[in-house]
Amino acid sequence: MTQFSMRVCVLIPALSLAGIVDAGHQGEVPGTSKLSPEEAGARYGQALGAGRLCKGFKVLPGADELAATFKGDELATFKEAAARIVQAWQATTNCQGGPNVCMRSHLASCYEALREIGPEGDRYPGLIGYSSD
Q: Which 8-state DSSP code applies to residue 132?
A: -
Cβ-proximal residues to 82 (8 Å cutoff; 6+ apart), any chain: 41, 42, 44, 45, 48, 67
Three-state DSSP state, 120: coil
Contact 103/111 with Cβ under 8 angstroms? no
- For residue range 16-73, list pLDDT tens digits in order: 454 444 444 444 444 435 899 999 999 999 999 999 999 999 999 999 999 999 999 9
Q: Say how many C-beta atoms besides its own lie within 10 A of residue 98's C-beta.
A: 10
Taking 60 as the threshold, does the pLDDT of residue 129 lie above it? yes
Sorted by where each begins, the domain ranges of the chain are: 3-18+38-130
With a pLDDT cut of 90, the percent of the chain lying above it is 55
Instruction: Please state the pTM of the whole predicted model.
Output: 0.75
